[in-house]
Amino acid sequence: MIDYSLAPALQEKIDNLNKPKGSLGRLETLALQVGLIQHSLTPRLTNPCHILFGGDHGIEREGVSQSPRDVTWQQMINYVKGGGGVNVFCRQHGFKLRVVDVGVDHDFDPKLYPNIIPRKIAYGTNDFLHTEAMSREQYERCMAVGAEMVDDCQSEGCNIICFGEMGIGNTSPSSILMHLFLDIPLEKCVGAGSGLDSEGVCHKLEVLTNAVSNYNRRAVNPYAPHSIGWAETIIRYFSGYEMVAAIGGMLRAAQYNMVIMVDGFIMTACMLAASQLNPDIIDYAVFGHCGDESGHQLMLQAMGAQPLLHLDMRLGEGTGAICAYPIVESAVNILNEMDNFQHAGITKYF
């Protein structure tokens, strides 16, 4: 939980920078947020890390994605070869990239791909149209993997982190998390994913509607609505391994008082899920962008989140969060490098 006792001093420092009060807009609120997270009047961003989890989804077998399942493992190899969009932005902005297999339906040769971190729980989740995506034990293992990866980053001095995902079909569980946690009609949560046409979107909505109906009919969630047990059951029943690992990572990052950069539709759904387990985690989140996936803007609005960018991106991988990183850098830099009225000898005019 963030200690807000420093808020008045931080706000006073921001207001006395030699500029009209509030004239730097979101940069000022970002500077305040980062200062509060680090509990410092002079925050610093050090050793930024990006963790990309990969996993396949049983629901993909129902034809809910334009892309075939093989793309998951092919892209994982592409990332460690340095050829993905996420690689470009990690290089550009100085992020260390970790690529982690938590559930890809493929065996990676460790001699050929030593940089794919092996933490495989299973070869993809179960098909949640018919049963739970993962067991309780698998859920706990995923959460632990996410925490472990953040532990590694923190040990290297990282204090700002973001998460990405690779898993064909993962907009489907994200849509259901949005629907169940925010009580938004499912048809407003379901979009084209990696490129479905209108007929494909209708089929996807039908499959997900039936999946939620089957889940409700089975009455597999004995917990009180909006309790932690209730939320964990929903996450476990519908999510992918890569999503649960990201949720575990987000929760651990908050424990370390890290700034958490949040990417697009899927990672926003994971942050939403994490907030059901610990509402305070939202205070650590900086939402990088509003993506092009249907429902993302609606989910952000329902969470009270203000994304920094709106570039019509829908690549995933964490790319939108990394692209927004320089804006956070600018916010921290004004707090540390901009002079104040008194020292600069400028009359304070407000």
Rounded to whole angstroms, the Cα distance separating 182 from 176 reads 10
Task: Tell me which residue of 169, 53, 48 sits closest to 116, measured CA to CA.
Answer: 53
DSSP readout, 73-102? Answer: HHHHHHHHHT-SHHHHHHHHHTPEEEEEEE
DSSP letter at 257 equals: T
Rounded to whole angstroms, the Cα distance separating 233 from 135 reads 10
Q: Which residue has the tokens 């650590």?
A: 284
Catalytic residue (choose from 28, 62, 317, 337): 317
What backbone torsions phi and psi does residue 217 show, to the nearest 5 degrees?
-65, -35
CA distances from 63 to 139, 208, 242 (A): 25, 11, 20
Residues 6+ apart with CB under 8 A from 140: none
CB crowding 61-71: b at 16 or more within 10 Å, else e: ebebbeeebeb
CB atoms within 10 A of CB 115: 14
270: tokens are: 């994971």
SS3 55: strand
CB atoms within 10 A of CB 261: 28
Rounded to whole angstroms, the Cα distance separating 16 from 23 reads 12
CA 62, 68, 70, 73 dihedral sign is: negative
Q: What is the 3-state secondary structure (H, E, C) of 158-225?
A: CCEEEEEEECCCCHHHHHHHHHHHHCCCHHHCCCCCCCCCHHHHHHHHHHHHHHHHHHHHHCCCCCCC
28 is catalytic: no
Residues classed as catalytic: 317
